[in-house]
Structure 1
Amino acid sequence: MRIPFAALIGLFFTGLYFFMAIFADFIAPYGMAEVVGNSWEPASWAHWLGTDTIGRDLLSRMIYGGQTTIFIATAATLLSFSLGSVLGFFAAVKGGLVDQVLSRGVDLMMSIPSLISALVVLSVMPVTLPVLILVMGILDSTRVFRLSRAVAVDINVMDYVEAARLRGEKQMWIIFREILPNALSPLVAEMGLRFIFAVLFISTLSFLGLGVQPPMADWGGIVKENKDGIAYGVMAGLIPAFAIASLAISVNLVADWVLTRTTSLKGGRG
């Protein structure tokens, strides 16, 4: 199998970011909140990216920030796909009143912008990592529900699904053994896009002050902490923005390659 050059670039940088996130404790030269110098020192051998607004090593903050950002985005994406796909498949298979209730409930949730919903919820709840993951996962599951239901509706009328019903198979068996394997192609491609959405979402929340709380680091919070330095020519606030953009592009390159390697919908188990 020949992998396109663009996909190789995406795989390399995506893998690099995840590697640094997993082994952050061994890679980071300083502690997450350790003050090691003066404010906004320039890059040097001691501090490869310089220091931040209160003298912490920016490279270490970026590594730990990537760990936090990627962990929250990954957990929220897995939650959203687990919840959204199962409910979407169930609505498509069950049909009738169940489908209408679930679909209209999702439409109601989607009528309110996700960022506004998250800000309202987080303003009255303690901002902890589990709460952030739950809020992001539940809000994003509405998009996954719409996609999975649309795919499952088409698969549900296939001959092999009707044959499974005639054999007397239960609905859960049909969902997980007949529909899910044939819906994986669009769902896997969509997962990359939803992961990027989660990265941007948590970064936005942190920039607004309702995401990851100090002294923990995440990329959106690092932008917020160092944004004032941009007016003085200090690039500390732009480095995490570049990391967010490069991760988004890398994952999108991989998602595009996965999408081109798979069919949008298979006519059988194949």
Structure 2
Amino acid sequence: MTLMPPGALKKGANKFMSAPLSAQFGMIVVALYVVAAVFAPQLAPYGEGQIVGSQFEPWSSAFWLGTDNLGRDMFTRLVFGARNTIGIALITTVLAFSIGATFGLLAATFGGWTDQLLSRVVDILMSIPQLIFALLLLSIFGTSTLSLILIIAMLDSTRVFRLCRAVATDAAVSDYVEVARLRGEGPLWIMGREILPNVLPTLIAEFGLRFCFVFLLISGLSFLGLGIQPPTSDWGSMVRDSATLIVYADSTPLLPAGAIALLAVAVNLVVDWFLHTASGLKD
């Protein structure tokens, strides 16, 4: 197994220490979420769908955060929810970016009818509110995990397309691209070697923001019952299942809601710092 060289570790540590406190906080929170998602079976005291007690048992040494409406351990569900919610959101975002960025680069590189056709299709898809469109498609094709990923990735790729096309169009008329055309380079070579490297920092920053939007959309759909389906643990459905406890001044429903909010804030803090660094601006 190849280990990371000491120089890379030192460089990463220096990068972390030079970041502002807000970015450091965001990176630490994101790292904790990643650890929880990867090592969920080892961290959770019970099985994901295991019924271990009565309904809505209070916090105790046996059940650190109590139990839910079916008697499942809330702490266990919260930990496994990190794996399911974050994992599905990450896969969906990667797929959305693969589709949107590819077509955005093609539209900017080739222009003409290619650009017009792709842009008009995207305009049609974006003219319908995303949440309503997602609810409609999920009611037609079912609420399986595969359907959820494909539908949200398709809808979110339109936003990625618009951004990628905009920044790639600016890069496509630059002098270095004109020089590459005069050298006789093909459109695909220009797209991959000249345009893409110059728009990559913007796309990376957008990836973080887009992940937050996808993550929140999936949680919202799960809260409505059309997202990740039981018995799979998900933070959105956990808020819905324990919402009645709010009436009794129980803060348990705020835990999955807080987990959603904290991750969204942490990712945005890291993205803001990365975008500021990539822009070359000085404090």
TM-score by length of 1: 0.95
Aligned sequence identity (%): 52
Counterpart of 1:241? Answer: 257
Matched to 1:20, the amino acid is A
Question: In terms of mean alpha carbon deviation, does 166-175 or 27-36 score higher?
Answer: 166-175
Matched to 1:97, the amino acid is W
Residue 243 of structure 2 is aligned to residue 227 of structure 1: yes
1:63 aligned to which of 67, 79, 87: 79
Give the superposition deviation at 1:82.
Answer: 0.8
Taking the aligned partners of 1:23 and 1:136, their CA distance within structure 2 comes to 27
Give the superposition deviation at 1:108.
Answer: 0.9
Residue 25 of structure 2 is aligned to residue 9 of structure 1: yes
Counterpart of 1:30? Answer: 46
Taking the aligned partners of 1:175 and 1:80, their CA distance within structure 2 comes to 19
Matched to 2:109, the amino acid is V
Counterpart of 2:121? Answer: 105
Give the superposition deviation at 1:85.
Answer: 0.7
Question: In terms of mean alpha carbon deviation, does 251-260 or 45-54 score higher?
Answer: 45-54
Matched to 1:42, the amino acid is P
Where structure 1 has 5 or more consecutive residues not aligned to the other structure, the ranges are: 265-270
Counterpart of 2:133? Answer: 117
Matched to 1:124, the amino acid is I
Question: In terms of mean alpha carbon deviation, does 230-239 or 250-259 score higher?
Answer: 230-239
Q: Secondary structure at the match of 1:41?
A: coil
Give the superposition deviation at 1:44.
Answer: 1.5
Listed one character per residue, the Cα deviations across residues 158-199 of structure 1 (whole Å, up to 9, x for unaligned) are 111111112222211111111111101111111111001011
Give the superposition deviation at 1:46.
Answer: 1.6
Counterpart of 2:271? Answer: 255
Taking the aligned partners of 2:27 and 2:186, their CA distance within structure 1 comes to 39
Aligned positions of 1:39-54 closer than 5 A = 39-54=55-70
Taking the aligned partners of 1:163 and 1:55, their CA distance within structure 2 comes to 67
Taking the aligned partners of 1:19 and 1:165, their CA distance within structure 2 comes to 47
Taking the aligned partners of 2:35 and 2:141, their CA distance within structure 1 comes to 32
Q: Secondary structure at the match of 1:216?
A: coil
Provide the aligned C-alpha RMSD in A: 1.1
1:178 aligned to which of 194, 216, 227: 194
